[in-house]
């Protein structure tokens, strides 16, 4: 059995524009440039309604994936979410199946270009062109997500520009008569067609597999994915309406270049080549985004020992080179020996099933009550959104026909065989679902909560987390004689009773109970005793320094018996309101992150006073300290009230030290000679302060 180990993380290179471009580019290809003609043969002019209905089951899945991705921004997307929520068996099915479905979508896009290329070069073989583009895109992937993302931005901007020209040019040429007998093909045909064109939207969520490489994923992932879906819905609505309104139904049905034909009606001779270029941009775009996303699945599964270890290795560019080679080789084989145009359509049912499971995963993660499950974006209308997201795909699957269902069953069988004969003996994880059934005596996986806490540490604080304020007004003890941890807790408890409405005995009991059960983290000579209570409204902190060393007893968390003793030089007591356990964990994670930094120990030991002690914990790029003196650049600030001083936007004085005492000032505080102030704020604002008041 092998437990999860810490692996080197991928570089965070993707910004909001990259997320939007990858999600949008993964969506607008065959669904718009090929499928309308096929959809018209099944649903007639009501294909417009089919495209809108197809977006409905994606919305719950999109919100669920965003929630999971902001809580667990890790490579692998759907695989990782299913593995950590429902366990490695379903994770294996989701990982292998989604990886293959993505690969088929990439091959489908590359070969699908043939219909448009043959408009200009009827005798041209599409296979060599598809293989050449695949190899170029694979080479870009090897150089990092940023390189592929840069290409993606160019492709999407060019595509949207051409489509904008098409929509404007077609506005005056649409024939209302083409929409007569809108429901002539029947409602069942509309729903069946919706199931077929559903694949047009699924690319919008594939960027989740790249969430580990997204800068500030809690903001950029939700914004990028939602904007991409709105873009896709708008383009499909306008585009299919234009195609139906421009092209006679008899000509449209079964046509494999419907948008180019429609452009010919709207824009004349220039329309066909212009929209053909747009189609080629779209196909390359979806192939690029799909290859980039798919290559992260072998990486993530290898990290978790579900695939051989070679696929988790990173190249000198910080990319999973072996995973990229495997993905690229599989795409090449499919293009050479199979018909991706036919197979890729069958994968829609499997995609629908995975999205239903993703919605279930959100329910499991929330009901598991794991406190370290802390998504930066929570799906609205829980759990009804997720229930709709589970039931609607199952209904669409039932309408898609036997072959699609059998193809999905084949993917599930293949993944099951791999899990049984390779992966099962190599993993000992269980999903969060065991936490849900803990009361029934089922096994729970104790490694999941620490893993999620590690993710919290990587994600850092949120904008509204009052960490700076908590540290600024914290109580400080700078002890110069050694003592025991139990004695220190008693001293701190009697001081804390003036700040929080708990008796010293209640505080002592809470801290010592947490220490006995192993809930007090101890590392690098630092202890972090903490608890939550419903009798306070804001977090409180006490900082204790004792360079002589505090003797602390460690306990066995199972037997609660004394196990060992250790000396610590720093103790940070944190007490938070009961109502926000996730914020409590984020603050603990920020302290742990600061303690791990190389300069912490030096700054902590060299701190001269209470101000320095607080500043050593706050120390980062968002802090600037200066001393007020008539003989320095701060001379104009002497005898001025803080409210009368113009600070850059977003900057404020967090701590003021005067006469050996530190306190949190307000606007009426008047600065005096010798005062020392610590200012927090954004990088740009603090940079201007450093230039204005050089120290």
**SS3 labels along 493-548:** HHHHCCCCCCCHHHHHHHHHHHHHCCCCCEECCEECCEEEECCCCCCEEEEEEEEE
Dihedral, 263, 268, 269, 271 alpha carbons, nearest 10: -30
How confident is the model at residue 441, as a pLDDT? 42
pLDDT confidence tier of residue 575, bands split at 50, 70 and 90:
very high
Report helix angle 217-246 to 16-25, nearest 10. 40
Give the tens place of pLDDT for each residue, 351-403.
888 888 999 999 988 887 777 788 888 999 999 999 998 988 888 777 777 88
Domain boundaries 460-618, CATH class: alpha beta
Which has more pLDDT, 395 or 43? 43
Q: Give SS3 for 304.
A: coil
Extended beta strands in 578-634, E state: 623-627
In terms of Cβ atoms closer than 10 Å to its own Cβ (0-12, 13-18, 19+), residue 441 is: exposed
Mean pLDDT of the chain: 82
How confident is the model at residue 432, as a pLDDT? 56
pLDDT confidence tier of residue 50, bands split at 50, 70 and 90:
very high
The pair of structure tokens assigned to 613 is 């002690």
Given a cut of 60, whether residue 437 has pLDDT beyond it is no
- How does strand 562-577 pair with strand 526-527? parallel
Q: Which of 244-248, 539-543, 593-597, 681-685 has the lowest mean pLDDT?
A: 681-685
DSSP 74-103: -TTTHHHHHHHHH-HHHHHHHHHHHHHHHH
Please give the CATH topology (third level) of the domain spanning 16-426.
Answer: Amino acid/polyamine transporter I (1.20.1740)
The pair of structure tokens assigned to 155 is 């492709």
pLDDT confidence tier of residue 203, bands split at 50, 70 and 90:
confident
Give the tens place of pLDDT for each residue, 250-271.
998 888 788 888 988 888 888 8
The pair of structure tokens assigned to 405 is 């269902």
Q: For the chain, where do the domains classified as CATH 3.40.930.10 start and end?
A: 460-618
Given a cut of 80, whether residue 622 has pLDDT beyond it is no
- Which backbone phi and psi does 512 adopt, to 5 degrees? -70, -35
Dihedral, 195, 197, 200, 201 alpha carbons, nearest 10: -40
Which has more pLDDT, 505 or 124? 505
Q: How far apart are CA 520 and CA 555, in angstroms?
A: 10
Which has more pLDDT, 175 or 144? 175
**DSSP H or E run through 327:** helix 321-337
Q: Which residue has the tokens 């009052």?
A: 466
Q: How far apart are CA 524 and CA 559, in angstroms?
A: 25
Cα 212–Cα 424–Cα 349 angle in degrees, nearest 5:
65
Q: Give SS3 for 122.
A: coil
Hey, CA dihedral for 10, 13, 15, 17, is it positive or negative?
negative
How confident is the model at residue 596, as a pLDDT? 81
Give the tens place of pLDDT for each residue, 109-166.
787 776 677 767 777 777 888 888 888 888 877 876 565 667 778 888 888 999 898 9
Give the tens place of pLDDT for each residue, 657-681.
887 777 778 888 999 998 988 887 7
Hey, CA dihedral for 546, 547, 553, 556, is it positive or negative?
positive
Q: How far apart are CA 217 and CA 70, in angstroms?
A: 6
The percentage of residues in the chain with a pLDDT greater than 70, rounded to a whole number, is 90
How confident is the model at residue 2, as a pLDDT? 39
Q: Residue 198 in contact with residue 2, Cβ under 8 Å?
A: no
Q: For the chain, where do the domains classified as CATH 1.20.1740.10 start and end?
A: 16-426
Q: Which of 166-180, 428-442, 616-630 has the lowest mean pLDDT?
A: 428-442
Which has more pLDDT, 588 or 662? 588
- Please give the average per-residue pLDDT across 487-510, as a whole number: 89
Q: How far apart are CA 333 and CA 331, in angstroms?
A: 5
Q: Residue 370 in contact with residue 435, Cβ under 8 Å?
A: yes
Q: Give SS3 for 523.
A: strand
Give the tens place of pLDDT for each residue, 208-219.
777 788 888 888
How confident is the model at residue 520, as a pLDDT? 80
How confident is the model at residue 384, as a pLDDT? 93
The pair of structure tokens assigned to 512 is 């010592």
How confident is the model at residue 398, as a pLDDT? 78
How confident is the model at residue 385, as a pLDDT? 93
Q: How far apart are CA 466 and CA 1, in angstroms?
A: 42
Given a cut of 60, whether residue 412 has pLDDT beyond it is yes
Q: How far apart are CA 299 and CA 10, in angstroms?
A: 10
Given a cut of 60, whether residue 519 has pLDDT beyond it is yes
Given a cut of 50, whether residue 3 has pLDDT beyond it is no
The pair of structure tokens assigned to 610 is 């209470």
- Which backbone phi and psi does 675 adopt, to 5 degrees? -65, 150
Give the tens place of pLDDT for each residue, 441-467.
445 555 555 666 666 666 667 777 788
The pair of structure tokens assigned to 129 is 């062109």
- Which backbone phi and psi does 580 adopt, to 5 degrees? -130, 70
Given a cut of 90, whether residue 241 has pLDDT beyond it is yes
Distances (CA, A) of 281 to 10, 143, 202, 457, 652: 28, 21, 18, 40, 48
Q: Residue 189 in contact with residue 401, Cβ under 8 Å?
A: no
- Which backbone phi and psi does 235 adopt, to 5 degrees? -70, -40
How confident is the model at residue 619, as a pLDDT? 67
pLDDT confidence tier of residue 4, bands split at 50, 70 and 90:
very low
Q: How far apart are CA 118 and CA 127, in angstroms?
A: 12
Q: Residue 43 in contact with residue 190, Cβ under 8 Å?
A: yes
- Please give the average per-residue pLDDT across 498-515, as a whole number: 88
How confident is the model at residue 671, as a pLDDT? 92
Q: Residue 471 in contact with residue 505, Cβ under 8 Å?
A: no
Which has more pLDDT, 447 or 409? 409
Q: For the chain, where do the domains classified as CATH 3.30.70.1450 start and end?
A: 621-695
Q: Is the peptide bond before 375 cis (omega within 30 degrees of 0)?
A: no
- Which backbone phi and psi does 462 adopt, to 5 degrees? -95, 165
Q: Residue 204 in contact with residue 27, Cβ under 8 Å?
A: yes
Q: How far apart are CA 226 and CA 223, in angstroms?
A: 5
Architecture of the domain spanning 621-695: 2-Layer Sandwich (3.30)
Give the tens place of pLDDT for each residue, 467-486.
888 888 888 998 888 788 88
- How does strand 676-680 pair with strand 623-627? antiparallel
Whole-structure pTM value: 0.71
How confident is the model at residue 272, as a pLDDT? 83
């Amino acid at each position: 059995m092998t437990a999860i180990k810490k692996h080197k993380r991928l570089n965070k290179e993707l910004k909001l524009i990259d997320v939007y471009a990858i999600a949008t580019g993964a969506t607008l290809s065959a669904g718009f440039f090929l499928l309308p003609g096929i959809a018209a043969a099944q649903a007639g002019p009501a294909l417009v309604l089919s495209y809108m209905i197809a977006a409905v089951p994606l919305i719950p899945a999109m919100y669920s994936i965003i929630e999971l991705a902001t809580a667990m921004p890790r490579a692998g997307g759907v695989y990782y979410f299913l593995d950590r929520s429902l366990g490695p068996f379903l994770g294996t099915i989701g990982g292998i199946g989604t990886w293959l479905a993505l690969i088929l979508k990439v091959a489908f896009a590359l070969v699908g270009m043939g219909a448009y290329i043959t408009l200009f070069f009827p005798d041209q073989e599409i296979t060599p062109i598809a293989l050449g583009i695949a190899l170029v895109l694979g080479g870009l992937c090897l150089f990092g997500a940023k390189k592929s993302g840069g290409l993606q931005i160019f492709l999407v901007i060019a595509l949207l520009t051409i489509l904008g020209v098409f929509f404007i040019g077609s506005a005056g040429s649409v024939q209302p008569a083409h929409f007569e007998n809108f429901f002539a093909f029947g409602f069942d045909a509309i729903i069946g067609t919706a199931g077929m064109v559903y694949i047009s939207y699924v690319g919008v969520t594939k960027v989740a597999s790249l969430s580990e490489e997204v800068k500030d994923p809690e903001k950029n992932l939700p914004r990028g994915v939602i904007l991409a879906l709105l873009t896709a819905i708008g383009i499909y609505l306008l585009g299919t309406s234009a195609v139906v309104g421009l092209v006679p139904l008899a000509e449209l049905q079964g046509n494999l270049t419907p948008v180019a034909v429609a452009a010919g009606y709207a824009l004349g001779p220039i329309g066909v080549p212009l929209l053909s270029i747009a189609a080629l941009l779209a196909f390359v775009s979806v192939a690029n985004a799909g290859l980039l996303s798919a290559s992260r699945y072998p990486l993530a599964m290898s990290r978790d020992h579900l695939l051989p270890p070679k696929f988790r290795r990173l190249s000198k560019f910080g990319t999973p080179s072996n995973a990229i080679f495997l993905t690229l080789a599989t795409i090449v084989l499919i293009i050479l020996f199979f018909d991706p145009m036919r197979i890729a359509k069958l994968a829609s049912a499997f995609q629908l099933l995975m999205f239903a499971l993703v919605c279930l995963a959100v329910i499991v993660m929330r009901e598991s009550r794991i406190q370290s499950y802390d998504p930066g974006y929570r799906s609205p209308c829980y759990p009804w959104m997720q229930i709709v997201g589970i039931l609607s795909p199952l209904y669409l699957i039932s309408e898609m026909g036997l072959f699609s269902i059998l193809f999905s069953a084949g993917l599930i069988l293949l993944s099951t065989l791999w899990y049984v004969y390779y992966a099962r003996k190599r993993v000992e994880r269980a999903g969060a679902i065991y936490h849900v059934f803990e009361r029934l005596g089922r096994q729970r996986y104790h490694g999941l909560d620490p893993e999620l806490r590690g993710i919290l540490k990587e994600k850092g604080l949120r904008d509204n987390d009052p960490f700076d304020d908590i540290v600024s007004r914290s109580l400080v003890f700078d002890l110069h004689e050694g003592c025991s941890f139990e004695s220190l807790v008693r001293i701190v408890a009697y001081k804390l009773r003036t700040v929080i409405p708990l008796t010293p005995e209640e505080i002592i009991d809470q801290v010592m109970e947490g220490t006995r059960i192993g809930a007090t983290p101890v590392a690098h000579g630092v202890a972090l005793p903490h608890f939550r209570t419903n009798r306070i409204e804001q977090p409180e902190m006490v900082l204790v320094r004792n360079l002589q060393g505090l003797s602390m007893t460690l306990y066995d968390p199972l037997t609660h018996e004394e196990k060992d003793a250790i000396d610590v030089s720093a103790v940070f007591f944190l007490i938070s309101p009961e109502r926000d356990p996730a914020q409590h964990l984020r603050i603990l994670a920020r302290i742990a992150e600061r303690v791990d930094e190389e300069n912490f120990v030096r700054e902590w030991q060299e701190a001269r006073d209470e101000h320095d002690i607080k500043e050593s914990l706050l120390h980062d790029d968002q802090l600037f300290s200066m001393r007020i003196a008539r003989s320095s650049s701060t001379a104009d600030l002497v005898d001025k009230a803080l409210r009368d001083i113009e600070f850059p936007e977003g900057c404020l004085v967090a701590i003021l030290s005067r006469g050996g005492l530190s306190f949190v000032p307000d606007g009426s505080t008047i600065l005096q000679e010798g005062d020392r102030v610590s200012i927090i704020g954004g990088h740009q604002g603090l940079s201007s302060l450093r230039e204005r008041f050089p120290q």
